[in-house]
Amino acid sequence: MSTARADADSVQPTPMPTPSPAALVATRPEIRIAQLSPAVEPWRRNYANALPSLLSHVAEKTYTNLAPEPVLINDFTDERLLECPFVYANFADREDWTFSPAEQSALRHYLQNGGFLFIDAGITASFLRDHPELGQHHSYAEWDANPQIKEAFAAVFPGREFQALRRNDPLFRAFYQGLPDTSLLPDTVRSYTEEEKWPDGTYSAAALRINGRIAVLTTPIIAMGWGKNSLGQWTTTIRFRILESTSGLDDYLERAAYSGARFEVVREDGGKDVIYCQEQAMPAWANEPGGKWRVFRYYGSREISDFAHVFYTRLGTNILVHALTN
Protein backbone atom coordinates (compact mmCIF):
# COMPACT_ATOMS: atom_id res chain seq x y z
CA MET A 1 0.00 0.00 0.00
CA SER A 2 2.68 2.45 0.98
CA THR A 3 4.71 1.58 -2.11
CA ALA A 4 1.72 2.17 -4.36
CA ARG A 5 1.12 5.54 -2.77
CA ALA A 6 4.76 6.51 -3.20
CA ASP A 7 4.64 5.62 -6.89
CA ALA A 8 1.49 7.64 -7.34
CA ASP A 9 2.95 10.61 -5.50
CA SER A 10 6.05 10.58 -7.72
CA VAL A 11 4.12 11.00 -10.97
CA GLN A 12 4.81 14.46 -12.47
CA PRO A 13 2.30 16.34 -14.65
CA THR A 14 3.11 16.40 -18.35
CA PRO A 15 4.44 19.89 -19.24
CA MET A 16 2.37 21.86 -21.71
CA PRO A 17 4.12 22.53 -25.04
CA THR A 18 5.40 26.06 -25.55
CA PRO A 19 3.16 27.89 -28.04
CA SER A 20 4.81 28.81 -31.32
CA PRO A 21 5.33 32.50 -32.13
CA ALA A 22 2.62 32.22 -34.79
CA ALA A 23 0.19 30.79 -32.24
CA LEU A 24 0.95 33.59 -29.79
CA VAL A 25 0.47 36.23 -32.48
CA ALA A 26 -2.89 34.73 -33.43
CA THR A 27 -4.17 35.31 -29.88
CA ARG A 28 -3.56 39.04 -30.15
CA PRO A 29 -6.11 41.48 -31.60
CA GLU A 30 -5.76 41.92 -35.34
CA ILE A 31 -4.52 45.33 -36.47
CA ARG A 32 -5.86 46.63 -39.76
CA ILE A 33 -3.95 49.13 -41.87
CA ALA A 34 -5.78 51.42 -44.31
CA GLN A 35 -4.59 52.53 -47.74
CA LEU A 36 -5.89 55.45 -49.76
CA SER A 37 -6.84 54.08 -53.16
CA PRO A 38 -8.19 55.58 -56.39
CA ALA A 39 -11.98 55.41 -56.44
CA VAL A 40 -11.92 54.03 -59.96
CA GLU A 41 -9.83 50.94 -60.76
CA PRO A 42 -8.15 50.58 -57.34
CA TRP A 43 -5.85 47.89 -58.73
CA ARG A 44 -4.11 50.66 -60.67
CA ARG A 45 -2.74 52.26 -57.52
CA ASN A 46 1.00 52.80 -57.55
CA TYR A 47 3.07 49.85 -56.34
CA ALA A 48 -0.06 47.84 -55.56
CA ASN A 49 1.85 44.93 -54.01
CA ALA A 50 4.21 47.10 -51.96
CA LEU A 51 2.16 47.62 -48.80
CA PRO A 52 1.07 43.95 -48.49
CA SER A 53 4.75 42.98 -48.81
CA LEU A 54 5.71 45.39 -46.04
CA LEU A 55 2.87 44.22 -43.79
CA SER A 56 4.04 40.63 -44.22
CA HIS A 57 7.59 41.61 -43.29
CA VAL A 58 6.53 43.59 -40.22
CA ALA A 59 4.21 40.83 -39.01
CA GLU A 60 6.99 38.25 -39.35
CA LYS A 61 9.73 40.29 -37.70
CA THR A 62 7.77 41.94 -34.89
CA TYR A 63 5.19 39.20 -34.11
CA THR A 64 2.42 41.75 -34.63
CA ASN A 65 -0.97 40.43 -35.71
CA LEU A 66 -1.32 42.59 -38.82
CA ALA A 67 -4.05 41.89 -41.35
CA PRO A 68 -2.19 40.79 -44.51
CA GLU A 69 -4.11 43.09 -46.86
CA PRO A 70 -4.84 46.80 -46.33
CA VAL A 71 -8.32 48.24 -46.02
CA LEU A 72 -8.80 50.27 -49.21
CA ILE A 73 -10.49 53.63 -48.70
CA ASN A 74 -11.36 56.18 -51.39
CA ASP A 75 -11.26 59.27 -49.19
CA PHE A 76 -10.88 60.25 -45.56
CA THR A 77 -14.60 60.21 -44.74
CA ASP A 78 -14.70 56.41 -44.88
CA GLU A 79 -16.08 55.18 -41.53
CA ARG A 80 -13.54 52.33 -41.49
CA LEU A 81 -10.80 54.93 -40.98
CA LEU A 82 -11.42 54.82 -37.23
CA GLU A 83 -10.75 51.07 -37.22
CA CYS A 84 -7.23 51.56 -38.58
CA PRO A 85 -4.50 53.23 -36.49
CA PHE A 86 -2.31 53.74 -39.57
CA VAL A 87 -3.17 55.00 -43.06
CA TYR A 88 -0.81 54.72 -46.02
CA ALA A 89 -1.33 57.12 -48.92
CA ASN A 90 0.76 57.44 -52.05
CA PHE A 91 0.63 61.09 -53.09
CA ALA A 92 0.13 60.19 -56.77
CA ASP A 93 -2.90 58.01 -55.99
CA ARG A 94 -5.00 61.12 -55.38
CA GLU A 95 -5.29 63.74 -58.10
CA ASP A 96 -6.57 66.60 -55.94
CA TRP A 97 -5.33 66.98 -52.37
CA THR A 98 -7.88 69.66 -51.53
CA PHE A 99 -9.96 68.20 -48.69
CA SER A 100 -13.72 68.61 -48.61
CA PRO A 101 -15.18 70.06 -45.37
CA ALA A 102 -16.28 66.54 -44.42
CA GLU A 103 -12.76 65.19 -44.96
CA GLN A 104 -11.26 68.03 -42.95
CA SER A 105 -13.52 67.19 -40.03
CA ALA A 106 -12.88 63.45 -40.29
CA LEU A 107 -9.11 63.87 -40.52
CA ARG A 108 -9.05 66.31 -37.63
CA HIS A 109 -10.94 63.84 -35.44
CA TYR A 110 -8.82 60.89 -36.59
CA LEU A 111 -5.46 62.55 -36.08
CA GLN A 112 -6.35 64.22 -32.78
CA ASN A 113 -7.37 60.84 -31.42
CA GLY A 114 -4.19 58.93 -32.16
CA GLY A 115 -4.41 58.16 -35.88
CA PHE A 116 -1.31 58.26 -38.08
CA LEU A 117 -1.17 59.19 -41.77
CA PHE A 118 1.90 58.44 -43.88
CA ILE A 119 1.98 60.19 -47.26
CA ASP A 120 4.56 58.49 -49.44
CA ALA A 121 6.05 60.64 -52.23
CA GLY A 122 4.59 63.66 -50.42
CA ILE A 123 8.04 65.22 -50.68
CA THR A 124 8.84 65.87 -54.32
CA ALA A 125 11.53 68.21 -55.57
CA SER A 126 10.14 71.07 -57.64
CA PHE A 127 11.39 69.62 -60.94
CA LEU A 128 9.09 66.61 -60.37
CA ARG A 129 5.89 68.35 -59.29
CA ASP A 130 4.40 68.99 -62.72
CA HIS A 131 4.59 65.26 -63.43
CA PRO A 132 3.61 63.27 -60.30
CA GLU A 133 4.49 60.00 -62.01
CA LEU A 134 8.16 61.06 -62.01
CA GLY A 135 8.04 61.32 -58.23
CA GLN A 136 7.32 57.59 -58.14
CA HIS A 137 10.84 56.80 -59.33
CA HIS A 138 12.99 59.59 -57.84
CA SER A 139 13.56 59.62 -54.09
CA TYR A 140 15.24 63.02 -54.12
CA ALA A 141 16.07 64.15 -50.59
CA GLU A 142 14.35 67.30 -49.37
CA TRP A 143 13.04 68.33 -45.97
CA ASP A 144 9.93 70.22 -47.07
CA ALA A 145 6.47 68.80 -47.78
CA ASN A 146 4.86 69.26 -51.19
CA PRO A 147 3.01 72.63 -51.33
CA GLN A 148 -0.28 70.81 -52.02
CA ILE A 149 0.14 68.80 -48.82
CA LYS A 150 0.96 71.87 -46.76
CA GLU A 151 -2.03 73.78 -48.12
CA ALA A 152 -4.39 70.85 -47.54
CA PHE A 153 -3.43 70.41 -43.90
CA ALA A 154 -3.41 74.13 -43.20
CA ALA A 155 -7.19 73.86 -43.61
CA VAL A 156 -7.34 70.93 -41.17
CA PHE A 157 -5.04 72.40 -38.51
CA PRO A 158 -4.74 76.17 -39.04
CA GLY A 159 -1.51 77.55 -37.66
CA ARG A 160 0.32 74.22 -37.60
CA GLU A 161 3.12 73.55 -40.05
CA PHE A 162 5.16 70.62 -41.29
CA GLN A 163 8.65 70.58 -39.82
CA ALA A 164 11.78 68.82 -41.01
CA LEU A 165 12.22 65.51 -39.21
CA ARG A 166 15.69 65.52 -37.70
CA ARG A 167 17.97 62.57 -38.22
CA ASN A 168 18.10 61.94 -34.46
CA ASP A 169 14.34 61.40 -34.22
CA PRO A 170 13.39 58.15 -32.42
CA LEU A 171 11.28 57.12 -35.42
CA PHE A 172 14.44 56.07 -37.24
CA ARG A 173 15.25 53.61 -34.45
CA ALA A 174 11.76 52.30 -33.70
CA PHE A 175 12.71 48.72 -34.63
CA TYR A 176 15.78 48.64 -36.87
CA GLN A 177 18.84 50.73 -36.08
CA GLY A 178 21.47 51.89 -38.54
CA LEU A 179 22.02 50.79 -42.12
CA PRO A 180 21.95 47.30 -43.60
CA ASP A 181 25.37 45.76 -44.25
CA THR A 182 27.21 48.16 -46.58
CA SER A 183 30.23 45.94 -47.21
CA LEU A 184 29.05 44.85 -50.68
CA LEU A 185 28.62 48.41 -51.95
CA PRO A 186 31.35 50.00 -54.12
CA ASP A 187 33.69 52.20 -52.07
CA THR A 188 32.43 55.54 -53.42
CA VAL A 189 28.81 54.51 -53.05
CA ARG A 190 29.40 53.11 -49.57
CA SER A 191 31.04 56.21 -48.12
CA TYR A 192 28.44 58.57 -49.59
CA THR A 193 25.57 56.37 -48.38
CA GLU A 194 26.98 56.11 -44.86
CA GLU A 195 27.93 59.77 -44.52
CA GLU A 196 25.41 61.74 -46.59
CA LYS A 197 22.67 59.76 -48.30
CA TRP A 198 21.22 57.69 -45.44
CA PRO A 199 23.47 58.18 -42.39
CA ASP A 200 22.58 55.79 -39.55
CA GLY A 201 19.57 54.56 -41.52
CA THR A 202 17.83 57.94 -41.67
CA TYR A 203 15.92 59.57 -44.52
CA SER A 204 14.55 62.94 -45.55
CA ALA A 205 11.10 63.55 -44.06
CA ALA A 206 8.73 66.24 -42.85
CA ALA A 207 6.21 65.80 -40.05
CA LEU A 208 3.09 67.46 -38.71
CA ARG A 209 2.84 66.99 -34.96
CA ILE A 210 -0.39 66.96 -32.98
CA ASN A 211 -0.29 66.92 -29.18
CA GLY A 212 3.45 66.41 -29.30
CA ARG A 213 3.47 63.29 -31.47
CA ILE A 214 3.90 62.76 -35.21
CA ALA A 215 0.42 62.55 -36.73
CA VAL A 216 1.25 63.08 -40.42
CA LEU A 217 4.55 62.03 -41.97
CA THR A 218 5.67 62.58 -45.53
CA THR A 219 8.80 61.46 -47.39
CA PRO A 220 10.10 61.02 -50.91
CA ILE A 221 8.89 57.74 -52.42
CA ILE A 222 9.91 54.61 -50.51
CA ALA A 223 7.26 52.05 -51.53
CA MET A 224 9.28 51.29 -54.66
CA GLY A 225 11.57 49.37 -52.31
CA TRP A 226 8.94 47.18 -50.63
CA GLY A 227 7.23 45.06 -53.25
CA LYS A 228 7.88 41.37 -53.80
CA ASN A 229 6.24 38.99 -56.25
CA SER A 230 4.75 35.58 -55.48
CA LEU A 231 8.24 34.04 -55.68
CA GLY A 232 9.59 36.41 -53.04
CA GLN A 233 11.65 38.42 -55.54
CA TRP A 234 11.90 42.21 -55.57
CA THR A 235 9.72 43.70 -58.29
CA THR A 236 11.80 46.81 -59.04
CA THR A 237 15.43 47.64 -59.75
CA ILE A 238 16.88 50.63 -57.91
CA ARG A 239 19.92 52.71 -58.83
CA PHE A 240 21.84 55.12 -56.62
CA ARG A 241 22.44 58.80 -57.32
CA ILE A 242 25.71 59.98 -55.76
CA LEU A 243 27.29 63.45 -55.53
CA GLU A 244 30.98 63.54 -56.38
CA SER A 245 33.65 66.21 -56.76
CA THR A 246 37.13 66.58 -58.21
CA SER A 247 39.83 69.21 -58.54
CA GLY A 248 38.83 72.21 -60.68
CA LEU A 249 35.16 71.24 -60.78
CA ASP A 250 33.92 74.37 -58.98
CA ASP A 251 35.24 76.75 -61.64
CA TYR A 252 34.03 74.57 -64.50
CA LEU A 253 30.46 74.02 -63.27
CA GLU A 254 29.97 77.63 -62.24
CA ARG A 255 30.19 78.57 -65.94
CA ALA A 256 28.63 75.43 -67.44
CA ALA A 257 25.51 75.61 -69.60
CA TYR A 258 22.52 73.40 -68.85
CA SER A 259 19.57 72.41 -71.01
CA GLY A 260 17.08 71.23 -68.38
CA ALA A 261 15.52 72.66 -65.24
CA ARG A 262 17.15 74.69 -62.48
CA PHE A 263 15.53 74.29 -59.08
CA GLU A 264 16.12 74.64 -55.36
CA VAL A 265 15.72 72.00 -52.65
CA VAL A 266 15.52 72.53 -48.89
CA ARG A 267 18.23 70.88 -46.81
CA GLU A 268 17.77 69.45 -43.33
CA ASP A 269 19.40 72.54 -41.81
CA GLY A 270 17.06 74.88 -43.73
CA GLY A 271 19.69 75.87 -46.29
CA LYS A 272 19.13 75.35 -50.00
CA ASP A 273 20.92 73.51 -52.78
CA VAL A 274 20.56 74.69 -56.37
CA ILE A 275 20.22 71.73 -58.74
CA TYR A 276 20.83 71.83 -62.49
CA CYS A 277 19.40 69.27 -64.91
CA GLN A 278 20.49 68.30 -68.40
CA GLU A 279 17.33 66.24 -68.85
CA GLN A 280 13.83 66.77 -67.49
CA ALA A 281 14.11 64.53 -64.44
CA MET A 282 17.83 63.81 -64.29
CA PRO A 283 19.84 66.11 -61.97
CA ALA A 284 23.33 66.69 -63.37
CA TRP A 285 25.12 68.87 -60.80
CA ALA A 286 24.52 70.84 -57.61
CA ASN A 287 25.60 74.16 -56.14
CA GLU A 288 25.62 73.74 -52.37
CA PRO A 289 25.82 76.37 -49.60
CA GLY A 290 29.27 77.88 -49.33
CA GLY A 291 29.84 77.82 -53.08
CA LYS A 292 30.60 74.11 -53.33
CA TRP A 293 29.84 72.39 -56.66
CA ARG A 294 29.46 68.65 -57.22
CA VAL A 295 28.23 66.40 -60.04
CA PHE A 296 25.71 63.59 -59.83
CA ARG A 297 26.76 60.13 -60.89
CA TYR A 298 24.42 57.18 -61.21
CA TYR A 299 25.39 53.67 -60.13
CA GLY A 300 23.49 50.45 -60.66
CA SER A 301 24.16 46.81 -59.78
CA ARG A 302 22.38 43.86 -58.21
CA GLU A 303 24.13 44.55 -54.91
CA ILE A 304 23.09 48.21 -54.92
CA SER A 305 19.48 47.39 -55.77
CA ASP A 306 19.21 44.67 -53.12
CA PHE A 307 20.75 46.98 -50.52
CA ALA A 308 18.24 49.71 -51.37
CA HIS A 309 15.31 47.29 -51.08
CA VAL A 310 16.45 46.16 -47.64
CA PHE A 311 16.96 49.76 -46.53
CA TYR A 312 13.51 50.90 -47.69
CA THR A 313 11.87 47.87 -46.07
CA ARG A 314 13.61 48.59 -42.77
CA LEU A 315 12.61 52.25 -43.03
CA GLY A 316 8.98 51.32 -43.71
CA THR A 317 9.08 48.97 -40.73
CA ASN A 318 10.37 51.74 -38.47
CA ILE A 319 7.65 54.12 -39.62
CA LEU A 320 4.89 51.59 -39.00
CA VAL A 321 6.23 50.39 -35.65
CA HIS A 322 6.69 53.98 -34.47
CA ALA A 323 3.13 54.83 -35.48
CA LEU A 324 1.67 51.82 -33.66
CA THR A 325 3.61 52.40 -30.45
CA ASN A 326 3.35 56.17 -30.01
Together in a domain, 38 and 152: yes
Per-residue pLDDT of the chain (326 residues; tens, 9 = 90+): 444 444 545 556 666 666 566 666 667 789 999 999 987 777 788 999 999 999 999 999 999 999 999 999 999 999 999 999 999 999 999 999 999 999 999 999 999 999 999 999 999 887 777 777 777 887 888 899 999 999 999 999 999 999 999 999 999 999 999 999 999 999 989 999 999 999 999 999 999 999 999 999 999 999 999 999 988 899 999 999 999 988 888 888 888 888 778 889 888 888 999 999 887 678 899 999 988 999 999 999 999 999 999 999 999 999 999 999 99
Reduce the DSSP state of residue 235 to 3 states and report it.
Answer: coil
Together in a domain, 219 and 76: yes
Cα–Cα distance between 241 and 50 in angstroms, integer? 22
Query: Is residue 49, in this structure, part of any structural domain at all?
Result: yes
Together in a domain, 180 and 251: no
User: Which pLDDT score, from 0 to 100, does residue 3 have?
Assistant: 47
User: Which pLDDT score, from 0 to 100, does residue 131 have?
Assistant: 73
The number of domains in the chain is 2
Together in a domain, 109 and 245: no
Query: Is residue 8, in this structure, part of any structural domain at all?
Result: no
Together in a domain, 38 and 114: yes
Query: Is residue 5, in this structure, part of any structural domain at all?
Result: no
Query: Is residue 41, in this structure, part of any structural domain at all?
Result: yes
Together in a domain, 144 and 254: no
Number of neighbours of residue 132 by Cβ within 10 angstroms: 19
Query: Is residue 17, in this structure, part of any structural domain at all?
Result: no
Of the candidates 122, 127, 124, 143, which has an alpha carbon nearest to the alpha carbon of residue 276? 127
Together in a domain, 38 and 134: yes
Task: Tell me the pTM.
Answer: 0.89
Query: Is residue 249, in this structure, part of any structural domain at all?
Result: yes
Query: Is residue 154, in this structure, part of any structural domain at all?
Result: yes
Together in a domain, 78 and 180: yes
Together in a domain, 316 and 232: yes
Of the candidates 274, 263, 233, which has an alpha carbon nearest to the alpha carbon of residue 124? 263
Domain extent for 275: 240-298
Residue 103 sits in a domain whose CATH number is 3.40.50.12140
Query: Is residue 23, in this structure, part of any structural domain at all?
Result: no
Together in a domain, 181 and 282: no
What is 13-69 written as a DSSP string?
Answer: PPPPPPPPHHHHHHTSPPB-EEEE--SS-GGGSTTTTHHHHHHHHHHHHH---B-SS
Together in a domain, 46 and 114: yes
Cα–Cα distance between 224 and 236 in angstroms, integer? 7
Together in a domain, 233 and 269: no
- In Å, the largest CA–CA distance within the chain is 107
